[in-house]
């Protein structure tokens, strides 16, 4: 069961149950966080990458077995080259970091999105990290060059290539980037925007949505706790009467 207990009289520690298997984060607000400090947007992304490490670790520690983070969308290429380059550099550093934690934290990483847009060397590193972590059990999906529309088109094209002339929901699901995991039970978006920005369009059909004004670089363990507590107040009906 889901429950809280006080740990060292400091922070409440939440444990989740099987009704919350997958949490997805739209990590928004890095740029605004940096701007507030008179710093370049790239500084916000650097801090945001640290937050991501901490939040993924924390989610694992409270029993969330699948975490997805939206790191770079198919639309984010529209940003200034300097910013895109800085994010790509952080991505390279993040792959190195993953190797330092994937064994101890039992992380099985998947990069959701079209890897074909990345330079060949980076694409190979992404694929290698997926392969090297494949025997682990806690799923971490990092959405990169990810777009929900692009994902559905990609799935349909795969089905056409298999010779299908008619498809089912199950066929589509099996060909999404997330075929290895359940749909998100909870989608959290930081930084105040009330939209999903092309994230998990198919999989999010029945996700609970949680929006907070907290900017991603400032998002903390206690903010995860608040989102989880809110999730447990919701009644999920999936269209039925309960």
Which residues, listed in sequence order, are joined to residue 6 by a DSSP beta bridge?
A: 12
State which of residues 52, 59, 66, 71 lies at the interface with ligand IPE (CB under 6 A). 71
Regarding 197 and contact with ligand IPE (CB under 6 A), the answer is yes
Q: Tell me if 26 contacts ligand IPE by CB under 6 A.
A: yes
Segment 89 to 108, residues that bind Mg ion, using CB under 5 A: none
Distance of closest approach, residue 9 Cβ to ligand IPE, in angstroms: 35
- Position among 20, 28, 49, 223 found at the interface with ligand IPE (CB under 6 A): 28
Determine the distance from the C-alpha atom of residue 156 to the mean position of all C-alpha atoms in its chain, rounded to a whole number: 23
Quick one: 53 or 131, whose CB is closer to ligand IPE? 53
* Coil, strand or helix at 144: strand
- Residues 227/210, Cβ–Cβ less than 8 Å: yes
CB of 77 to Mg ion, least distance (A): 14
Query: Catalytic residue among 8, 17, 28, 114, which?
Result: 28
Residue nearest to ligand IPE as judged by C-beta position: 31
Rounded Cα distance between 38 and 34, Å, is: 6
Separation between Cα atoms, residue 74 and residue 57, nearest integer Å: 26
- Decide which of Mg ion, ligand IPE, none touches 27; Cβ closer than 5 to 8 Å per partner kind: ligand IPE
Residue 160 CB, shortest distance to ligand IPE, in Å, is 28
17 is catalytic: no
Q: Which two tokens stand for residue 219?
A: 């998002």
Q: Is 151 in the site for ligand IPE (CB under 6 A)?
A: no
Of 203, 205, 204, residue with least CA distance to 172:
203
Q: Is 28 in the site for Mg ion (CB under 5 A)?
A: yes
> Per CB under 6 A, does 70 bind ligand IPE?
yes
Query: Which of 72/177 has CB closer to ligand IPE?
Result: 72
Q: How many residues bind Mg ion (CB under 5 A)?
A: 1
- According to the binding rule CB under 6 A, does residue 32 interact with ligand IPE? yes
**163-197 b/e (C-beta count within 10 Å ≥ 16 → b):** eeeeeeeeebeebbbbeebebbbbbbbbbeeeebe
**What's the Cα-to-Cα distance from 181 to each of 56, 190, 220, rounded to whole Å?**
16, 23, 25
- Catalytic-residue membership of 28: yes
Select the residue interacting with ligand IPE from 14, 22, 29, 231 (CB under 6 A): 29
The torsion angles phi and psi of 103, rounded to 5 degrees, stand at -75, -50
Of 8, 76, 132, 225, which residue is the catalytic one? 76
Q: What is the CA radius of gyration of the chain?
A: 18
What is the binding site for ligand IPE (CB under 6 A)? Answer: 26-32, 70-73, 76, 87, 191, 193, 195, 197
């Amino acid at each position: 069961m889901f429950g809280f207990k006080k740990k060292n009289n400091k922070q409440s520690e939440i444990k989740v149950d099987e009704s919350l298997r997958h949490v997805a984060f739209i990590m928004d607000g890095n740029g605004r966080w940096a701007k507030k400090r008179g710093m370049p947007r790239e500084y916000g992304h650097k801090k945001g990458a640290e937050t991501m490490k901490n939040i993924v670790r924390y989610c694992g520690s409270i029993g969330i077995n699948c975490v997805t983070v939206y790191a770079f969308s198919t639309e984010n290429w529209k940003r200034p080259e300097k910013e895109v380059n800085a994010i790509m550099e952080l991505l390279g550093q993040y792959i190195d970091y993953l190797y330092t934690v994937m064994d101890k934290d039992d992380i099985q990483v998947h990069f959701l999105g079209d890897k074909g847009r990345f330079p060949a060397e980076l694409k190979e590193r992404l694929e290698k990290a997926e392969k090297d972590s494949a025997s682990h059990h806690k799923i971490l999906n990092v959405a990169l060059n990810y777009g929900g529309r692009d994902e559905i088109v990609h799935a349909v094209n795969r089905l056409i290539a298999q010779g299908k002339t008619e498809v089912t929901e199950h066929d589509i699901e099996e060909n999404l980037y997330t075929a290895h995991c359940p749909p998100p039970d909870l989608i959290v978006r930081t930084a105040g925007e009330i939209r999903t920005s092309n994230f998990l369009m198919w999989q999010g059909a029945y996700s609970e949505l949680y929006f907070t004004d907290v900017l991603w670089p400032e998002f903390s363990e206690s903010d995860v706790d608040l989102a989880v507590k809110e999730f447990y107040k919701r009644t999920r009906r999936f269209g039925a009467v309960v």
